[in-house]
């Protein structure tokens, strides 16, 4: 009888799925298998590669993940593991081991992505190919509190075979296998009555009856700014009339009452410098047409520029640009530099002019070489002027902005990370701020000025970097709306050419089933502003995540909705429920 029972037990065991129990909360080492598949692991990709879990090859333990191609395989395949991002921190690191065999026509790598669109790396730049024994690799990315998912794994593009094992995720140096998870608050789950009550206690009403009442409504905001050195005034669209009116009002008061003397616009640096030079000699409409992005060619912007023209001498204020400067950099530099009697400087300027004239080419290799030469030309001019004690502050600023424009060609050559548009704009503002006499107002999109990165390890870097560098002296004011209409232009790479003649169009905001921050704001009042620290005190938290719209230069799309802890992103928020599009100057 005992023999029969033992035989039956053996049969039962053999017919059960194979299970190997790992010891960790997350199966990052593939040790927990169910029916020969590692639990909670998935795969994706456009290749026909075979996915398996190998009991013969492993770095440690008994199992590794394997991706294998055949001779006809094209494309890529990736193993993937997703973990809810219920952790707090600033940096996240993935470490793991790869073993490769005959990898060709592509690469092998670990990969990690922080959602929603916060950061990503797949080690493509490492170019791991061929046959290699177990080797440890690392990926480190920025981590944000509004992350909702951590996705990691290994991938193979092209042909060959790879094994992945011993993956470890650490946030700020702490292994997530043992880290305490935190509860994340979402706007959808938060009590609307509690939020509305908190808003009613902390909001300052904005009277839109006329410009005078609107301006007087801003007293608390101006007082809150206090002695800050950099104030960034945002916008959730580039084409909202009320946003430009508020910016102008806030700017005028900061200049008159707080001594601010620099206004930085999200526009090419060199164009703004030439606009300044010609402001008293050429018609304003002509300067706007030639030197401002099309989205700014509006009556609202003209109103501010007219005030600036009339008051820049009395208040000793300057308008600056913080965007790339390809188009008129040489003309601007030549105007400031007098090479008379300096043969070497004449030669250096001639070399720069020659290279710039050749830089527009369809040959990428040639473009890369020429633009590296332009960067070196700028360095040579700067070094020469330093050597003869003739490097003035205005010339140094022009050269700095020129170097920033071409720096990524040098980064590629030196195998350094590419600097994003946001990073470069932050560097330009930081350069201006090095002069302790400068108090700076920034006019840029909410997506740029935000205290924290919003998405793609790109959107929000400008503000994040300025907040890191200047701390409490950097103050952000987000402007947002719910409904109405806005101006936009046909989609294009904004600084792809020097032809600022796109026609502005008009569209209404799209409705969405998603609960937006702006929906919650509208429950309080149709127009008001808050200081986010005060709302945080009422709510006892600033970690509520919700959706908001951030529209660029083009027409609204589903991709313009972002999930953010808005109380962390801005120091103050101005909300107007129903807004109107800007008025184009050129029909």
Residue 111 neighbours by CB under 8 Å, 6+ apart: 78, 120, 121, 122, 123, 139, 152, 153, 154, 155
- pLDDT value, residue 9: 37
Give the model confidence (pLDDT) of 232-264 as tens digits: 999 999 999 999 999 999 999 999 999 999 999
pLDDT lower than 50: segments of the chain: 1-18, 21
pLDDT at residue 572, as a whole number: 98
Segment 427-447, tens digit of pLDDT: 999 999 999 999 999 999 999
9 is a domain residue: no
Contacts of 472 by beta carbon, 8 Å cutoff, 6+ apart = 228
In a domain, 534, yes or no: yes
Q: How far apart are CA 155 and CA 112, in angstroms?
A: 10
Distance CA 449, CA 459 (A): 9
Radius of gyration of the chain from its Cα atoms, rounded to whole angstroms = 28
Q: For residue 576, what are its two tokens?
A: 């107007």
> Which run of H or of E encompasses 506?
strand 505-508
503 and 552 in a common domain: yes
What Cα–Cα distance (Å) separates residue 129 from each residue in 50, 573, 584?
18, 50, 55
Q: Could you tell me the residue range of the domain that residue 398 belongs to? A: 329-413
CA distance 426 to 50: 46
- For the chain, the domain total comes to 3
pLDDT at 22: 52
Give Cα separations from 550 to 73, 191, 246 (angstroms): 41, 25, 18
Backbone angles phi, psi at 380, to 5 degrees: -65, -40
- Asked if 363 and 432 sit in the same domain, the reply is no
Bridge partners, 80 (sequence order): 42, 153
Domain boundary among 387, 413, 439: 413
Q: 334 and 405: one domain?
A: yes
Asked whether residue 586 is domain-assigned, the answer is: no
The token duo for 28 is: 């990052």
Whether residues 402 and 426 share a domain: the answer is: no
**What does pTM read for this prediction?**
0.83
Q: Among 530, 545, 539, 533, which Cα is nearest to 575's?
A: 530
DSSP string, 166-178: EEEEEETTEETTT
Q: What is the pLDDT of residue 16?
A: 40
Quote the pLDDT of residue 144.
Answer: 83
d(CA 443, CA 323): 12
CA atoms within 13 A on the CB side of 77: 21
Residue 23, pLDDT score: 63
Identify the three-state secondary structure at position 115.
Answer: strand
Are 380 and 432 within one domain?
no
My answer on whether 47 and 127 are in the same domain is: yes
């Amino acid at each position: 009888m005992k023999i029969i029972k033992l035989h039956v037990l053996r049969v039962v065991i053999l017919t059960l799925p194979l299970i190997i129990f790992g010891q960790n909360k997350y199966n990052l080492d593939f040790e927990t298998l169910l029916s020969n598949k590692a639990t909670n692991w998935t795969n994706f990709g456009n290749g026909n590669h075979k996915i398996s879990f190998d009991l013969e090859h492993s770095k440690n333990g008994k199992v590794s993940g394997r991706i294998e191609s055949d001779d006809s395989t094209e494309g890529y395949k990736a193993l993937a593991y997703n973990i809810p991002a219920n952790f707090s921190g600033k940096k996240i690191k993935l470490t793991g081991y790869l073993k490769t065999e005959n990898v060709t026509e592509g690469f092998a790598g670990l990969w990690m992505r922080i959602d929603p669109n916060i950061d990503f790396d797949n080690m493509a730049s490492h170019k791991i190919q061929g046959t290699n024994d177990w080797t440890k690799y690392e990926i480190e990315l920025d981590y944000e509190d509004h992350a909702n998912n951590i996705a990691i794994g290994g991938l193979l593009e092209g042909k060959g075979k790879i094994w992945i094992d011993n993956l470890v995720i650490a946030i700020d140096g702490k292994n997530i296998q043992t880290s305490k998870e935190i509860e994340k608050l979402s706007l959808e789950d938060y009590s609307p009555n509690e939020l509305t009550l908190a808003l009613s206690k902390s909001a300052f009403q904005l009277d839109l009856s006329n410009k005078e009442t609107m301006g007087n409504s801003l007293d608390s905001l101006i007082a809150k700014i206090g002695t800050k050195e950099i104030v960034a005034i945002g916008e959730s669209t580039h084409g909202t009339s009320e946003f430009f009116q508020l910016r102008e009002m806030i700017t005028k008061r900061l200049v008159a009452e707080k001594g601010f003397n620099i206004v930085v616009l999200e526009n090419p640096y060199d164009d703004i410098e030439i606009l300044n030079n010609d402001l008293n000699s050429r018609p304003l409409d002509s300067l706007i047409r030639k030197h401002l992005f099309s989205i700014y060619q509006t009556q609202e912007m003209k109103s501010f520029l007219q005030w600036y023209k009339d008051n820049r001498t009395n208040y000793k204020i300057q308008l600056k640009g913080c965007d790339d400067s390809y188009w008129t950099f040489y003309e601007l530099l030549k105007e400031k530099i007098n090479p008379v009697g300096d043969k070497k400087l004449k030669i250096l300027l001639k070399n720069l002019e020659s290279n710039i004239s050749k830089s527009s080419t369809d040959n990428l290799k040639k473009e890369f070489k020429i633009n590296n030469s332009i960067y070196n030309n700028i360095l040579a001019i700067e070094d020469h002027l330093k050597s003869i004690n003739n490097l003035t502050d205005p010339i140094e600023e022009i050269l700095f902005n020129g170097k920033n424009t071409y720096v990524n060609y040098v980064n590629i050559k030196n195998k350094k990370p590419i600097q994003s548009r946001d990073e470069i704009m932050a560097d330009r503002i930081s350069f201006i701020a090095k002069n302790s006499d400068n108090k700076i107002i920034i006019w840029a999109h909410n997506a740029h000025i935000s205290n924290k990165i919003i998405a793609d390890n790109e959107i929000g870097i400008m503000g994040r970097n300025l907040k890191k560098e200047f701390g409490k002296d950097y103050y952000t004011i987000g402007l947002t709306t719910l409904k109405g209409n806005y101006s936009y232009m046909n989609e294009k790479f904004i600084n792809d050419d020097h032809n600022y003649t796109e026609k502005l169009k008009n569209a209404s905001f799209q409705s969405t089933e998603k609960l937006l921050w702006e929906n919650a704001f509208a429950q309080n009042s149709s127009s008001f502003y808050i200081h986010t620290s005060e709302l945080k005190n009422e709510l006892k938290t600033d970690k509520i995540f919700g959706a908001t719209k951030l529209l660029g230069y083009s027409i609204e799309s589903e991709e313009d909705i972002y999930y953010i802890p808005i109380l962390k992103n801005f120091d103050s928020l101005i909300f107007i429920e129903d807004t109107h599009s800007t008025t184009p100057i050129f029909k």
